[in-house]
A and B are shown apart, each in its own frame.
Chain A
Amino acid sequence: MANECLTSLRSGNVSVLDTPAPLTALEKCLLNEYQRGFPLSSAPYADIARQLDVNETEVINTLGSLQDRGYISRVGPVFAPQQAGSSTLAAMAVPVKQLETIAAFVSRFDEVNHNYEREHDFNLWFVVTAPDQARVEQVLDEIESGTGIAVLNLPLERAFYIDLGFPLWC
């Protein structure tokens, strides 16, 4: 699979994503094909080199260069979230004039690890994670009482995804 990717990239058969800087065929292939299935062996970069018909040093240097330029954040295991504790997704409809103040108030909680502004009446979306459900609810209560704005509590009922990464070039 990966080898086909490299062949088609080299022959120009794949539409190419505009990135802030041009990427080589090998870079694109490493980015696209190793979002899962990175070899779990004592010499994984040599395994990749064999799969792609390049040499091990080239693989290591290319991954290092992608990492230095910020195109990959790391090479390694991706862990499932929520192995312990409790969390929820919450939303608030904040008047635009108050958004900065209220967003900052929400972000100050250590239990808030993601906080996004989104284009909707419900314009502030954040994730609350804590060691237990009681603390999650306490944080939501403190946010409601501190801001005077109702919080929509949308806890996970079930997750449906495999998380295999997603194709960057297709």
Chain B
Amino acid sequence: MTGYPQTLSKAQQSGKQLDATDRRIIVATQAGLPLVAAPYDALADQLGLDVEDVLARVAAMQASGIIRRIAAVPNHYALGYTINGMSVWNVTDERISELGRQVGALDYVSHCYHRPRHLPLWPYNLFAMVHGRNSQDVEAKVTGIATLLGEHCRGHEVLYSKRILKKTGLRLKG
């Protein structure tokens, strides 16, 4: 982890270096590691590999950005984080790289993207996803973003999620 936000293009570039064994490791771990004392040994046995090879490949995928992080992944919805607010911002074009990086680094922003405007219908060029237990919680966080952007933002809105109509995880097929 470098401490700098990764761009997708970097992940895309490194994605080309995946070999068949890396892909087998991805397929075998994307639903989670076994909860046993030596989970990577169990994985290595399952795949017919040496555990040192598995650990080295996972470390290499993490270094290249294919693996973002290794985690006990919380289910935010079950934990009471039932609201997500997609905040959208009309930010001065000349400053968007610098400000996008700063917004993306806020610990309560889970995703932050630069996307094109579609004038006159859609003036917003920066998207920051904020999660909360209720709308007040989300609004307080949005106020934090507004303060950070200051005079470089000419307007914003928060689009609250109302219903998840479809959500399927990204899955590599084996």
Residues of chain A at the chain B interface (Cβ within 8 Å): 17-20, 30-31, 34-46, 56, 60, 63-64, 66-67, 69-84, 89, 91, 103, 106-107, 112-120, 122-126, 129, 152-168
Contacts and interface: CB of A to CB of B under 8 A. Distances in A.
B73 A78 contact: yes
B150 interface: no
| Consensus secondary structure, chain B interface | mixed
Given A38-B71, A79-B26, A166 B164 contact: no
A95 B147 CA distance: 35
Nearest to A21: B78
A107 B166 contact: yes
Given A163-B68, A167-B107, A75 B32 contact: yes
A118 B112 contact: no
A77 B80 contact: no
A40 B51 CA distance: 11
Given A41-B55, A158-B100, A165 B69 contact: yes
B72 A119 contact: no
B160 A118 contact: yes
A155 B69 CA distance: 25
A139 B26 CA distance: 28
Contact of A74 (B3, B31, B110): B31
B20 interface: no
Given A30-B72, A75-B73, A160-B112, A80 B8 contact: yes
A116 B129 CA distance: 13
Given A75-B32, A79-B67, A80-B66, A157 B75 contact: no
Given A78-B67, A84-B15, A159 B8 contact: yes
Contacts of B113: 89, 156-160
Nearest to B2: A162
Nearest to B39: A44
Contacts of A116: 161-165
A152 to B, nearest CB: 6
B33 A76 contact: yes
B115 A17 contact: no
A166 B108 contact: yes
Interface in B149-168: 157, 159-168
